[in-house]
A and B are shown apart, each in its own frame.
Chain A
Amino acid sequence: MEMIEVRDVQFRYDEEEGSSAVVLDGIHMTVRKGEFVALLGHNGCGKSTLAKHFNAMLLPLGGAVLVKDMNTTDERHKYDIRSTVGMVLQNPDNQLVSTIVEEDVAFGPENLGVEPAVIRTRVDEALKAVGMYDYRDHAAHKLSGGQKQRVAIAGVLAMQPECIVLDEPTAMLDPRGRREVMDTVCRLNREQGITIVLITHYMEEAVLADRVLVMDDGKVVREGTPRQVFSQVEQLRALELDVPQPTELCHVLQQEGITLPDGVLTIEECAEALLQQLEGYHGGH
């Protein structure tokens, strides 16, 4: 049983045929349990629209979306699906409902009708998991962007999801907030085995994933490990996407005729490759 299975999904915002462009055009993909998937694609290619299909916020016009074998069109499973697949959105200000941090985190389980004492323990655990426990009685609007986004993640965690979909969670944050959020996301994936689907425009974040999916015009056009996907620099360019900076550097040097390995992803790998190249150079003379 896959976490999320998307079968040939068609979607357009205006349901009438021909009156609006097709946003999702035959999407086929699966997200396996415990996996960390990054979803890439240029602006307006339909990533957010696809993400909203994962938790039954939008329903496919053609094809089907299955969350742990539950069809999202089945009204009876709506809240099961939404508590299984939690969603964190881009703007940290517009997804916090309550003024006080812990009360906001409690919002999800309260909606699910969980026992008060159980909500309390879940809220405390969720806040500890994102490192915001010390801020539990603070006013949410006074936190930094990264902290707000971690509270939003805690709010989803308190519903005890098996999968969290994050739609550009770091787009409005400074580098420090971005790192806080990404550290939290990676930790949840590794330590609690929570499946992660991360939509992002930052390639350094996509590199952290187990698998990268690239979308273009409502279709999945590339799929593979970060190394496989990012080694095809020219194809990504054609899809209006960047590659991580170390990959870019190696690519430029390769074009200058310097032999370097393909698919270098991190700064460390890049330094290592360059060092070897330099040593080889000196050794040769």
Chain B
Amino acid sequence: MLSDITIGQFFPGNSVLHRIDPRVKLALTFIYIVAVFIPRNWWGLGLAVAALIGAALLSRLPARLLLKGLKPVLPLIVLTSIINLFYVDGTVLWHWWIFRITWEGIATAAFIAIRILCLIAGTSLLTYTTSPTTLTDALERLLSPLRVIRVPVHEIAMMMTIALRFIPTLIEETDKIMSAQKARGADMESGGLMQRVRALIPVLIPLFISSFRRAYELATAMECRCYHGGEGRTRMKQLHMRSGDYVALLLMALLIAALFVLNTQFPKVI
């Protein structure tokens, strides 16, 4: 069950998308997240979705994988959709007691649901095609100007590297502890909310204790391998901007321009 979580995972490959400079990819993802909020009508949204699908095809990752990554956010999407469904005024389609569903409500709900899906799919595409180390490396370099104002950029990037490295390990361990507790008769699936939260305590305490031990051992291992902060550290993988990276940036600029144009050409939906 827990092993279904694919957020933050990396799937090695050699596609066009894998080879884009991680700094560019990181920047493009941020720009895309903002760009998803530009469209005001279906044409614009359609274009944003098409751009995403295009990128997904370029990544050569199986569609099943990309869709699986969307599963954990479904509850969030359902919740926002329901809220939008009932709270938007307009032509009433259906009416019962204080609940009204309007044509506009349905449109808004769908629009926002697609937006959220684009956000999640866009960011998972980034993490699926970029190794965590290069990703945090890119982040470190993009943020490096902030060192001037004493932001510990290297430390933040190292923390992210380690966090991403240990997410799968800790998920595995949680699964193991839960099985062990269940084998001892712990009931994790029934009862009210409070009861279930209480059932999690015997899982969380061993997990915390072992995490501290892991952290201590990892620190020892890192020191044994001469780690002493970011100073004087070099990188095996050097980052170079290539022509493909400029093309990607250009395409993103075109997308944004097109989204603004489409907003002026067609009537507003939301």
A 90-124 contacts with B by CB, 8 A: 91, 93-100, 102-103, 106-116, 119-120, 123
Chain B residue numbers with a CB within 8 Å of A91 are 214, 217
A60 within 8 A of B: no
- Which B residues are within 8 Å of any A CB, using their own CB? 9-10, 12, 131-134, 161-162, 164-165, 168-169, 172, 213-214, 217-218, 220-228, 232-238
**B133 adjacent to A137 (CB under 8 Å):** no
**A111 adjacent to B10 (CB under 8 Å):** no
Binds B, one of A62-70, A80-88, A241-249: A80-88
Chain A residue numbers with a CB within 8 Å of B12 are 100, 137-139
Closest to A141 in B: B168
Interface bits A149-185 vs B (CB < 8 Å: 1, else 0): 0001001100100000000000000000000000000
CB within 8 A of B164: which of A86, A89, A99, A116? A99
* Smallest beta-carbon distance B136→chain A, Å: 9
Known: A89-B217, A116-B235. A98 touches B225 (CB 8 A): no
**B238 adjacent to A116 (CB under 8 Å):** yes
Chain A residue numbers with a CB within 8 Å of B10 are 99-100, 139
**A97 adjacent to B222 (CB under 8 Å):** yes
**A97 adjacent to B161 (CB under 8 Å):** yes
Report the bound CA distance from A71 to B243 in whole Å. 52
Known: A93-B214, A140-B165, A141-B168. A112 touches B236 (CB 8 A): no
**A94 adjacent to B226 (CB under 8 Å):** no
- A: number of interface residues (CB 8 Å): 43
Report the bound CA distance from A55 to B222 in whole Å. 13
Chain B residue numbers with a CB within 8 Å of A123 are 236
CB-based closest 9 A-B pairs = A95-B221, A106-B236, A94-B217, A108-B225, A119-B236, A87-B224, A111-B226, A103-B133, A137-B12
Report the bound CA distance from A137 to B130 in whole Å. 12
A13 within 8 A of B: no
CB within 8 A of B133: which of A86, A98, A152, A156? A98
CB within 8 A of A111: which of B172, B228, B238? B228
Report the bound CA distance from A99 to B8 in whole Å. 11
Report the bound CA distance from A102 to B172 in whole Å. 23
**A79 adjacent to B226 (CB under 8 Å):** yes
A239 within 8 A of B: no
- Which A residues are within 8 Å of any B CB, using their own CB? 55, 57, 79, 82-83, 86-87, 89, 91, 93-100, 102-103, 106-116, 119-120, 123, 137-142, 152, 155-156, 159
* Smallest beta-carbon distance B127→chain A, Å: 11
Chain A residue numbers with a CB within 8 Å of B131 are 99-100, 103
Q: Identify 4 new A-B residue pairs, CB closer than 8 A, beyond the known A99-B10, A106-B236, A152-B221.
A: A89-B217, A93-B214, A94-B214, A156-B225
Q: List 6 A-B contacts (CB under 8 A).
A: A93-B169, A97-B222, A98-B165, A106-B236, A107-B225, A111-B228
CB within 8 A of A82: which of B161, B226, B235? B226
* Smallest beta-carbon distance B238→chain A, Å: 5
Report the bound CA distance from A108 to B223 in whole Å. 10
* Smallest beta-carbon distance B132→chain A, Å: 5
Report the bound CA distance from A83 to B223 in whole Å. 11
Closest to B162 in A: A97
Report the bound CA distance from A120 to B235 in whole Å. 10
**B165 adjacent to A96 (CB under 8 Å):** yes
**A141 adjacent to B224 (CB under 8 Å):** no
Report the bound CA distance from A140 to B218 in whole Å. 15
CB within 8 A of A110: which of B134, B172, B218, B234? B234
Report the bound CA distance from A142 to B217 in whole Å. 20
Closest to B217 in A: A94
Known: A98-B165, A99-B10. A116 touches B237 (CB 8 A): yes
CB within 8 A of B234: which of A86, A100, A113, A142? A113
**A100 adjacent to B217 (CB under 8 Å):** no
**B132 adjacent to A99 (CB under 8 Å):** yes
